[in-house]
Structure 1
Amino acid sequence: MLDLKKANNASIIAISVIMLLSTFLGWYLTPKQVLADAKPAIGLEKNIPDQFADWKIDPNISPITTAADLQSKLDELYSEMLSRTYVNSKGGRIMLSIAYGRNQGGDGTQVHRPEYCYPAQGFKLSAMHDAEMQYKQYKIPTRQLLATSGPRVEPVTYWVTVGETALRSGWERKFTQIKYGLKGTVPDGLLFRVSSISNDQNAAYQLQEQFTNDLLNAVSDETRTRLIGKPKED
Protein backbone atom coordinates (compact mmCIF):
# COMPACT_ATOMS: atom_id res chain seq x y z
CA MET A 1 0.00 0.00 0.00
CA LEU A 2 1.30 3.47 -0.94
CA ASP A 3 2.72 5.40 2.00
CA LEU A 4 1.17 8.85 1.43
CA LYS A 5 3.32 10.45 4.11
CA LYS A 6 6.55 9.31 2.46
CA ALA A 7 5.24 10.34 -0.99
CA ASN A 8 4.39 13.81 0.30
CA ASN A 9 7.79 14.16 1.91
CA ALA A 10 9.50 13.14 -1.32
CA SER A 11 7.44 15.70 -3.24
CA ILE A 12 8.33 18.43 -0.77
CA ILE A 13 12.04 17.56 -1.03
CA ALA A 14 11.90 17.51 -4.85
CA ILE A 15 10.13 20.88 -4.96
CA SER A 16 12.66 22.36 -2.51
CA VAL A 17 15.59 21.12 -4.61
CA ILE A 18 14.04 22.57 -7.77
CA MET A 19 13.50 25.94 -6.06
CA LEU A 20 17.08 25.99 -4.79
CA LEU A 21 18.41 25.12 -8.25
CA SER A 22 16.24 27.82 -9.84
CA THR A 23 17.53 30.38 -7.33
CA PHE A 24 21.13 29.36 -7.97
CA LEU A 25 20.75 29.41 -11.76
CA GLY A 26 19.02 32.78 -11.59
CA TRP A 27 21.94 34.18 -9.57
CA TYR A 28 24.56 32.45 -11.72
CA LEU A 29 23.10 33.62 -15.03
CA THR A 30 22.49 37.21 -13.90
CA PRO A 31 25.05 39.40 -15.73
CA LYS A 32 27.55 40.86 -13.27
CA GLN A 33 30.14 42.63 -15.43
CA VAL A 34 29.07 46.02 -16.83
CA LEU A 35 30.86 46.45 -20.15
CA ALA A 36 30.64 50.26 -19.98
CA ASP A 37 32.75 50.27 -16.80
CA ALA A 38 35.75 49.08 -18.83
CA LYS A 39 35.41 51.92 -21.35
CA PRO A 40 35.85 55.70 -21.20
CA ALA A 41 32.69 57.79 -21.39
CA ILE A 42 31.46 58.07 -24.96
CA GLY A 43 31.30 61.89 -24.79
CA LEU A 44 28.93 62.52 -27.71
CA GLU A 45 28.93 66.33 -27.44
CA LYS A 46 32.71 66.39 -27.34
CA ASN A 47 33.58 63.61 -29.79
CA ILE A 48 31.01 64.25 -32.53
CA PRO A 49 32.44 67.29 -34.34
CA ASP A 50 30.42 70.41 -35.08
CA GLN A 51 32.04 70.66 -38.51
CA PHE A 52 33.65 68.06 -40.77
CA ALA A 53 34.17 67.50 -44.51
CA ASP A 54 31.51 69.68 -46.21
CA TRP A 55 29.18 69.64 -43.20
CA LYS A 56 28.53 72.07 -40.38
CA ILE A 57 25.80 72.50 -37.78
CA ASP A 58 22.80 74.45 -39.03
CA PRO A 59 21.79 76.64 -36.07
CA ASN A 60 18.55 77.70 -37.77
CA ILE A 61 16.93 74.25 -37.86
CA SER A 62 16.47 71.91 -34.93
CA PRO A 63 15.19 68.32 -34.95
CA ILE A 64 11.53 67.92 -34.03
CA THR A 65 10.74 68.65 -30.40
CA THR A 66 10.18 65.51 -28.35
CA ALA A 67 6.93 65.25 -26.40
CA ALA A 68 7.41 65.67 -22.63
CA ASP A 69 6.26 62.15 -21.70
CA LEU A 70 8.54 60.56 -24.31
CA GLN A 71 11.47 62.76 -23.26
CA SER A 72 11.09 61.63 -19.65
CA LYS A 73 11.38 57.99 -20.76
CA LEU A 74 14.44 58.82 -22.86
CA ASP A 75 16.09 60.57 -19.90
CA GLU A 76 15.55 57.45 -17.78
CA LEU A 77 16.94 55.01 -20.35
CA TYR A 78 19.93 56.82 -21.83
CA SER A 79 23.19 58.06 -20.41
CA GLU A 80 23.81 60.47 -23.28
CA MET A 81 21.78 61.80 -26.21
CA LEU A 82 22.76 64.00 -29.13
CA SER A 83 20.45 65.71 -31.65
CA ARG A 84 21.81 68.01 -34.34
CA THR A 85 21.03 69.22 -37.84
CA TYR A 86 23.91 69.56 -40.31
CA VAL A 87 23.97 71.37 -43.65
CA ASN A 88 26.46 71.16 -46.55
CA SER A 89 27.52 73.77 -49.10
CA LYS A 90 24.78 72.64 -51.51
CA GLY A 91 22.05 73.17 -48.94
CA GLY A 92 21.56 69.47 -48.20
CA ARG A 93 20.48 68.88 -44.60
CA ILE A 94 20.80 65.82 -42.38
CA MET A 95 19.26 65.40 -38.94
CA LEU A 96 21.46 63.28 -36.67
CA SER A 97 20.27 61.61 -33.48
CA ILE A 98 22.37 59.35 -31.24
CA ALA A 99 21.12 57.84 -28.00
CA TYR A 100 23.64 55.94 -25.85
CA GLY A 101 22.80 53.71 -22.89
CA ARG A 102 25.16 51.98 -20.47
CA ASN A 103 22.73 49.09 -20.01
CA GLN A 104 21.50 47.41 -23.20
CA GLY A 105 20.80 44.08 -21.54
CA GLY A 106 17.05 44.77 -21.78
CA ASP A 107 14.87 46.89 -24.04
CA GLY A 108 16.80 50.13 -23.66
CA THR A 109 16.84 51.12 -27.33
CA GLN A 110 13.17 50.30 -27.89
CA VAL A 111 11.85 53.70 -26.83
CA HIS A 112 14.16 55.58 -29.21
CA ARG A 113 13.55 53.35 -32.24
CA PRO A 114 11.85 55.25 -35.09
CA GLU A 115 9.07 52.65 -35.07
CA TYR A 116 8.19 53.93 -31.60
CA CYS A 117 9.24 57.56 -31.35
CA TYR A 118 7.96 58.81 -34.73
CA PRO A 119 4.36 57.59 -34.24
CA ALA A 120 4.53 59.10 -30.74
CA GLN A 121 5.14 62.45 -32.49
CA GLY A 122 2.18 61.97 -34.84
CA PHE A 123 4.04 60.54 -37.86
CA LYS A 124 2.84 57.69 -40.05
CA LEU A 125 5.41 55.07 -41.07
CA SER A 126 5.69 53.20 -44.36
CA ALA A 127 8.18 51.61 -46.78
CA MET A 128 10.10 49.92 -43.95
CA HIS A 129 12.87 47.59 -45.11
CA ASP A 130 16.29 46.22 -44.15
CA ALA A 131 19.31 47.68 -45.92
CA GLU A 132 23.08 48.03 -45.64
CA MET A 133 25.24 51.12 -45.53
CA GLN A 134 28.67 50.89 -47.12
CA TYR A 135 31.58 52.29 -45.14
CA LYS A 136 34.95 51.61 -46.78
CA GLN A 137 35.24 47.81 -46.96
CA TYR A 138 32.48 47.29 -44.41
CA LYS A 139 28.72 46.98 -44.61
CA ILE A 140 26.69 48.33 -41.68
CA PRO A 141 23.31 46.58 -41.26
CA THR A 142 20.58 49.23 -41.22
CA ARG A 143 16.84 49.65 -41.31
CA GLN A 144 15.18 52.31 -43.46
CA LEU A 145 11.66 53.70 -43.39
CA LEU A 146 9.56 56.64 -44.47
CA ALA A 147 7.99 58.92 -41.83
CA THR A 148 5.28 61.33 -42.98
CA SER A 149 3.31 64.02 -41.20
CA GLY A 150 1.12 66.17 -43.46
CA PRO A 151 3.39 67.62 -46.17
CA ARG A 152 6.57 66.58 -44.31
CA VAL A 153 8.21 63.48 -45.82
CA GLU A 154 11.23 62.19 -43.90
CA PRO A 155 13.25 59.16 -45.06
CA VAL A 156 15.06 57.62 -42.08
CA THR A 157 18.05 55.29 -41.73
CA TYR A 158 19.09 53.79 -38.40
CA TRP A 159 20.91 50.96 -36.68
CA VAL A 160 21.60 49.91 -33.11
CA THR A 161 24.72 48.60 -31.43
CA VAL A 162 24.86 46.12 -28.58
CA GLY A 163 28.35 46.00 -27.14
CA GLU A 164 30.67 45.95 -30.15
CA THR A 165 28.11 44.66 -32.63
CA ALA A 166 26.12 46.83 -35.05
CA LEU A 167 22.79 45.33 -36.03
CA ARG A 168 19.21 45.95 -36.92
CA SER A 169 16.71 45.83 -34.11
CA GLY A 170 14.35 42.97 -33.33
CA TRP A 171 15.54 39.38 -32.99
CA GLU A 172 19.16 40.27 -33.88
CA ARG A 173 19.35 42.57 -30.86
CA LYS A 174 17.71 40.01 -28.58
CA PHE A 175 20.07 37.24 -29.72
CA THR A 176 23.14 39.42 -29.12
CA GLN A 177 21.86 40.45 -25.68
CA ILE A 178 21.42 36.79 -24.75
CA LYS A 179 24.99 35.99 -25.88
CA TYR A 180 26.37 38.74 -23.64
CA GLY A 181 24.13 37.62 -20.78
CA LEU A 182 25.42 34.05 -20.97
CA LYS A 183 28.92 35.48 -20.54
CA GLY A 184 27.79 37.35 -17.42
CA THR A 185 28.11 40.72 -19.12
CA VAL A 186 25.76 43.72 -19.30
CA PRO A 187 26.47 45.34 -22.70
CA ASP A 188 26.23 49.03 -23.47
CA GLY A 189 24.99 50.27 -26.83
CA LEU A 190 23.38 53.02 -28.82
CA LEU A 191 20.91 53.88 -31.51
CA PHE A 192 22.30 55.88 -34.46
CA ARG A 193 19.75 57.63 -36.68
CA VAL A 194 20.05 59.93 -39.67
CA SER A 195 17.13 61.44 -41.58
CA SER A 196 16.35 64.19 -44.06
CA ILE A 197 13.26 65.92 -45.41
CA SER A 198 12.86 64.87 -49.04
CA ASN A 199 10.28 63.51 -51.47
CA ASP A 200 13.05 61.57 -53.24
CA GLN A 201 13.81 58.56 -51.05
CA ASN A 202 16.74 57.26 -53.09
CA ALA A 203 18.47 60.64 -53.14
CA ALA A 204 17.82 61.04 -49.41
CA TYR A 205 19.33 57.67 -48.55
CA GLN A 206 22.38 58.40 -50.71
CA LEU A 207 22.90 61.73 -48.93
CA GLN A 208 22.53 60.03 -45.55
CA GLU A 209 25.17 57.48 -46.51
CA GLN A 210 27.55 60.21 -47.66
CA PHE A 211 27.01 62.16 -44.45
CA THR A 212 27.58 59.09 -42.30
CA ASN A 213 30.77 58.18 -44.15
CA ASP A 214 32.07 61.73 -43.74
CA LEU A 215 31.25 61.63 -40.03
CA LEU A 216 32.88 58.24 -39.46
CA ASN A 217 36.01 59.44 -41.24
CA ALA A 218 36.13 62.53 -39.00
CA VAL A 219 35.93 60.86 -35.59
CA SER A 220 38.62 58.96 -33.70
CA ASP A 221 39.04 55.20 -34.06
CA GLU A 222 37.66 54.73 -30.55
CA THR A 223 34.55 56.81 -31.24
CA ARG A 224 34.03 55.09 -34.58
CA THR A 225 34.04 51.71 -32.87
CA ARG A 226 31.46 52.96 -30.37
CA LEU A 227 29.24 54.14 -33.23
CA ILE A 228 29.40 51.11 -35.54
CA GLY A 229 30.97 48.38 -33.43
CA LYS A 230 33.54 46.17 -35.10
CA PRO A 231 31.96 45.53 -38.51
CA LYS A 232 32.76 42.50 -40.59
CA GLU A 233 34.52 42.98 -43.89
CA ASP A 234 32.74 42.19 -47.16
Structure 2
Amino acid sequence: MKRSLHYLYVCLTMLAAAGLANALKPTEMLADQGPKVDLETMIPRQFGDWKMEQDIGQLMVNPEVQAKVDRIYSQTLSRTYINGNGERVMLAIAYGGNQSDSMAVHKPEVCYPAQGFQLLNNREDAFSTGQGDIPIKRLVAKQGGRIEPITYWTTMGDMAVMSSSVKWKLEQIKYGLTGKIPDGLLFRISSLQSDEGAAYRLQDHFAHSLLGALTPEGRRHIIGMIGQGV
Protein backbone atom coordinates (compact mmCIF):
# COMPACT_ATOMS: atom_id res chain seq x y z
CA MET A 1 0.00 0.00 0.00
CA LYS A 2 2.78 2.40 0.97
CA ARG A 3 4.66 1.53 -2.21
CA SER A 4 1.56 2.26 -4.31
CA LEU A 5 1.10 5.61 -2.59
CA HIS A 6 4.77 6.39 -3.22
CA TYR A 7 4.43 5.66 -6.94
CA LEU A 8 1.25 7.74 -7.06
CA TYR A 9 3.05 10.65 -5.38
CA VAL A 10 5.97 10.41 -7.84
CA CYS A 11 3.59 10.36 -10.82
CA LEU A 12 1.62 13.33 -9.55
CA THR A 13 4.84 15.25 -8.90
CA MET A 14 6.10 14.56 -12.43
CA LEU A 15 2.78 15.61 -13.95
CA ALA A 16 2.77 18.81 -11.89
CA ALA A 17 6.36 19.61 -12.97
CA ALA A 18 5.48 18.98 -16.61
CA GLY A 19 2.43 21.20 -16.31
CA LEU A 20 4.46 23.98 -14.68
CA ALA A 21 7.15 23.76 -17.37
CA ASN A 22 4.50 23.99 -20.07
CA ALA A 23 2.83 26.93 -18.31
CA LEU A 24 6.16 28.77 -18.11
CA LYS A 25 7.06 28.07 -21.74
CA PRO A 26 7.60 31.44 -23.47
CA THR A 27 5.01 32.18 -26.14
CA GLU A 28 5.16 35.96 -26.72
CA MET A 29 7.49 36.94 -29.58
CA LEU A 30 9.20 40.28 -29.01
CA ALA A 31 9.72 40.53 -32.77
CA ASP A 32 5.94 40.85 -33.16
CA GLN A 33 5.91 43.98 -30.99
CA GLY A 34 6.77 47.26 -32.68
CA PRO A 35 8.05 47.92 -36.22
CA LYS A 36 9.28 44.98 -38.27
CA VAL A 37 13.01 44.73 -38.91
CA ASP A 38 14.04 45.21 -42.54
CA LEU A 39 17.81 44.89 -42.88
CA GLU A 40 17.84 46.05 -46.50
CA THR A 41 16.36 49.43 -45.63
CA MET A 42 17.87 49.73 -42.14
CA ILE A 43 21.48 49.47 -43.33
CA PRO A 44 22.41 52.33 -45.72
CA ARG A 45 24.18 51.53 -48.97
CA GLN A 46 26.41 54.57 -48.57
CA PHE A 47 27.61 56.40 -45.45
CA GLY A 48 30.63 58.50 -44.56
CA ASP A 49 33.52 57.47 -46.81
CA TRP A 50 31.97 54.07 -47.50
CA LYS A 51 29.77 52.90 -50.36
CA MET A 52 28.38 49.50 -51.23
CA GLU A 53 30.24 47.59 -53.91
CA GLN A 54 28.70 44.91 -56.08
CA ASP A 55 29.03 41.60 -54.20
CA ILE A 56 32.10 39.82 -55.53
CA GLY A 57 31.50 36.64 -53.55
CA GLN A 58 34.46 36.62 -51.16
CA LEU A 59 32.92 33.80 -49.11
CA MET A 60 30.85 31.22 -50.93
CA VAL A 61 28.61 29.37 -48.48
CA ASN A 62 27.92 25.72 -49.21
CA PRO A 63 24.24 24.70 -49.54
CA GLU A 64 24.19 22.69 -46.31
CA VAL A 65 25.47 25.59 -44.20
CA GLN A 66 23.17 28.05 -46.01
CA ALA A 67 20.15 25.83 -45.33
CA LYS A 68 21.00 25.80 -41.64
CA VAL A 69 21.38 29.58 -41.56
CA ASP A 70 18.05 29.99 -43.35
CA ARG A 71 16.35 27.85 -40.70
CA ILE A 72 17.84 29.91 -37.88
CA TYR A 73 17.35 33.41 -39.24
CA SER A 74 14.38 35.21 -40.73
CA GLN A 75 16.60 37.74 -42.56
CA THR A 76 20.20 37.91 -43.72
CA LEU A 77 22.18 40.71 -45.35
CA SER A 78 25.55 40.38 -47.07
CA ARG A 79 27.37 43.32 -48.61
CA THR A 80 30.86 44.53 -49.49
CA TYR A 81 31.77 48.18 -48.89
CA ILE A 82 34.72 50.16 -50.26
CA ASN A 83 36.13 53.49 -49.10
CA GLY A 84 38.01 56.26 -50.88
CA ASN A 85 41.34 54.51 -50.25
CA GLY A 86 40.15 51.36 -51.98
CA GLU A 87 39.90 49.43 -48.71
CA ARG A 88 37.12 46.85 -48.54
CA VAL A 89 35.08 45.53 -45.63
CA MET A 90 32.65 42.65 -45.89
CA LEU A 91 29.48 43.00 -43.82
CA ALA A 92 27.13 40.16 -42.90
CA ILE A 93 24.09 40.53 -40.63
CA ALA A 94 21.68 37.77 -39.70
CA TYR A 95 18.48 38.57 -37.81
CA GLY A 96 16.22 36.05 -36.13
CA GLY A 97 12.90 36.61 -34.42
CA ASN A 98 13.46 33.66 -32.09
CA GLN A 99 16.69 33.41 -30.09
CA SER A 100 15.68 30.39 -28.00
CA ASP A 101 18.01 27.40 -27.53
CA SER A 102 16.66 25.69 -30.65
CA MET A 103 17.32 28.82 -32.77
CA ALA A 104 20.65 29.94 -31.34
CA VAL A 105 22.93 32.09 -33.48
CA HIS A 106 25.18 30.41 -36.04
CA LYS A 107 28.65 31.55 -35.03
CA PRO A 108 31.60 32.23 -37.38
CA GLU A 109 33.62 29.72 -35.30
CA VAL A 110 31.33 27.10 -36.81
CA CYS A 111 30.56 28.65 -40.20
CA TYR A 112 34.13 29.31 -41.36
CA PRO A 113 35.59 25.86 -40.58
CA ALA A 114 32.55 24.40 -42.37
CA GLN A 115 33.83 26.25 -45.47
CA GLY A 116 37.30 24.73 -45.11
CA PHE A 117 38.91 27.63 -43.21
CA GLN A 118 41.42 27.20 -40.42
CA LEU A 119 40.95 29.46 -37.39
CA LEU A 120 44.30 30.96 -36.39
CA ASN A 121 42.98 33.19 -33.62
CA ASN A 122 39.83 33.36 -31.50
CA ARG A 123 39.65 35.83 -28.64
CA GLU A 124 37.19 37.96 -26.74
CA ASP A 125 37.43 41.74 -26.91
CA ALA A 126 35.30 44.86 -26.43
CA PHE A 127 34.09 47.42 -28.94
CA SER A 128 33.50 51.02 -27.87
CA THR A 129 30.25 52.33 -29.32
CA GLY A 130 30.88 55.85 -28.06
CA GLN A 131 28.23 55.34 -25.37
CA GLY A 132 29.62 52.22 -23.78
CA ASP A 133 31.42 48.99 -24.63
CA ILE A 134 29.87 45.82 -25.99
CA PRO A 135 31.46 42.32 -25.95
CA ILE A 136 32.82 41.09 -29.27
CA LYS A 137 34.89 38.27 -30.73
CA ARG A 138 38.00 38.71 -32.89
CA LEU A 139 38.90 35.82 -35.20
CA VAL A 140 41.43 35.18 -37.93
CA ALA A 141 40.43 32.66 -40.61
CA LYS A 142 42.87 31.25 -43.17
CA GLN A 143 42.33 29.25 -46.33
CA GLY A 144 45.30 28.84 -48.62
CA GLY A 145 46.78 32.30 -49.17
CA ARG A 146 43.63 34.04 -47.99
CA ILE A 147 43.82 35.57 -44.50
CA GLU A 148 40.61 37.08 -43.16
CA PRO A 149 40.49 38.86 -39.77
CA ILE A 150 36.91 38.89 -38.45
CA THR A 151 35.04 40.93 -35.85
CA TYR A 152 31.57 39.92 -34.72
CA TRP A 153 29.03 40.32 -31.95
CA THR A 154 25.56 39.05 -31.15
CA THR A 155 22.48 40.54 -29.52
CA MET A 156 19.54 39.11 -27.63
CA GLY A 157 16.53 41.37 -27.23
CA ASP A 158 17.86 44.77 -26.19
CA MET A 159 21.32 43.63 -25.13
CA ALA A 160 24.59 42.87 -26.88
CA VAL A 161 25.80 39.62 -25.33
CA MET A 162 28.03 36.86 -26.67
CA SER A 163 26.16 33.67 -27.52
CA SER A 164 26.84 30.59 -25.36
CA SER A 165 28.07 32.80 -22.50
CA VAL A 166 26.66 32.68 -18.98
CA LYS A 167 25.12 36.10 -19.54
CA TRP A 168 23.45 34.83 -22.72
CA LYS A 169 21.83 32.00 -20.75
CA LEU A 170 20.77 34.38 -17.96
CA GLU A 171 19.12 36.67 -20.54
CA GLN A 172 17.25 33.66 -21.95
CA ILE A 173 16.01 32.77 -18.47
CA LYS A 174 15.01 36.37 -17.77
CA TYR A 175 12.90 36.54 -20.90
CA GLY A 176 11.51 33.06 -20.30
CA LEU A 177 10.24 33.98 -16.84
CA THR A 178 8.21 36.80 -18.38
CA GLY A 179 6.82 34.54 -21.11
CA LYS A 180 8.71 36.37 -23.86
CA ILE A 181 10.82 35.00 -26.72
CA PRO A 182 13.61 37.47 -27.62
CA ASP A 183 14.78 38.32 -31.09
CA GLY A 184 18.43 38.92 -31.89
CA LEU A 185 21.09 39.18 -34.54
CA LEU A 186 24.65 38.40 -35.47
CA PHE A 187 26.73 41.29 -36.83
CA ARG A 188 29.94 40.31 -38.62
CA ILE A 189 32.56 42.38 -40.43
CA SER A 190 35.76 41.14 -42.00
CA SER A 191 38.49 42.16 -44.42
CA LEU A 192 41.19 40.43 -46.43
CA GLN A 193 44.61 41.43 -45.11
CA SER A 194 47.48 39.79 -43.29
CA ASP A 195 48.05 42.68 -40.85
CA GLU A 196 45.64 41.71 -38.07
CA GLY A 197 45.97 44.97 -36.14
CA ALA A 198 45.38 47.12 -39.21
CA ALA A 199 42.38 44.98 -40.15
CA TYR A 200 40.71 45.45 -36.78
CA ARG A 201 41.33 49.20 -36.83
CA LEU A 202 39.73 49.38 -40.28
CA GLN A 203 36.78 47.28 -39.12
CA ASP A 204 36.26 49.41 -36.00
CA HIS A 205 36.33 52.55 -38.15
CA PHE A 206 33.76 51.01 -40.48
CA ALA A 207 31.50 49.99 -37.58
CA HIS A 208 31.65 53.46 -36.01
CA SER A 209 30.79 55.08 -39.34
CA LEU A 210 27.88 52.72 -39.88
CA LEU A 211 26.48 53.21 -36.37
CA GLY A 212 26.66 56.97 -36.85
CA ALA A 213 24.51 56.68 -39.97
CA LEU A 214 21.75 54.57 -38.39
CA THR A 215 18.49 55.75 -36.88
CA PRO A 216 18.12 55.34 -33.09
CA GLU A 217 15.92 52.28 -33.74
CA GLY A 218 18.51 50.85 -36.11
CA ARG A 219 21.27 51.31 -33.54
CA ARG A 220 19.15 49.54 -30.93
CA HIS A 221 18.80 46.52 -33.18
CA ILE A 222 22.53 46.44 -33.99
CA ILE A 223 24.11 47.07 -30.56
CA GLY A 224 21.26 46.94 -28.05
CA MET A 225 20.03 49.61 -25.65
CA ILE A 226 23.56 50.74 -24.81
CA GLY A 227 23.37 52.64 -28.08
CA GLN A 228 20.51 54.64 -26.60
CA GLY A 229 22.59 55.68 -23.60
CA VAL A 230 20.64 53.29 -21.31
TM-score norm. by structure 1 comes to 0.92
| C-alpha spacing 1:109/1:12, structure 2 compared with 1 (3 Å) | closer
Match of 2:150 among 151, 156, 169: 156
Match of 2:178 among 168, 175, 183: 183
What does 1:37-186 correspond to in 2, within 5 Å?
37-59=32-54, 61-111=56-106, 113-171=107-165, 172-186=167-181
- 3-state DSSP of counterpart to 1:154: strand
Aligned residues: 228
Percent sequence identity is 43
Q: State the partner residue of 1:7.
A: 2
**Deviation per CA, 1:101-130, whole angstroms, max 9, x where unpaired?**
00001153443x110000011000022111
Segments ≥4 residues shifted beyond 3 Å: none
- 3-state DSSP of counterpart to 1:132: strand
Q: State the partner residue of 2:215.
A: 220
Structure 1 residue 88: Cα displacement: 0.1
Measure, in 2, the Cα distance between the counterparts of 1:204 and 1:168: 21
8 Å Cα contact 1:79-1:102 kept in structure 2: yes
| Structure 2 alignment gaps of length 5 or more | none
- 3-state DSSP of counterpart to 1:231: helix
8 Å Cα contact 1:133-1:140 kept in structure 2: yes
Q: State the partner residue of 1:35.
A: 30
Measure, in 2, the Cα distance between the counterparts of 1:188 and 1:60: 27
8 Å Cα contact 1:119-1:125 kept in structure 2: yes
8 Å Cα contact 1:158-1:192 kept in structure 2: yes
| Structure 1 alignment gaps of length 5 or more | 1-5
Measure, in 2, the Cα distance between the counterparts of 1:87 and 1:109: 31
Range moving further from structure 2, 83-92 or 68-77 = 68-77
Measure, in 2, the Cα distance between the counterparts of 1:107 and 1:88: 39
Range moving further from structure 2, 122-131 or 17-26 = 17-26
8 Å Cα contact 2:99-2:105 kept in structure 1: no
Q: State the partner residue of 1:3.
A: none
Measure, in 2, the Cα distance between the counterparts of 1:142 and 1:226: 16
- 3-state DSSP of counterpart to 2:226: coil
Structure of larger gyration radius = 1
Structure 1 residue 64: Cα displacement: 1.0
Q: State the partner residue of 1:229.
A: 224
**Deviation per CA, 1:199-231, whole angstroms, max 9, x where unpaired?**
111111011011011111111110110111112
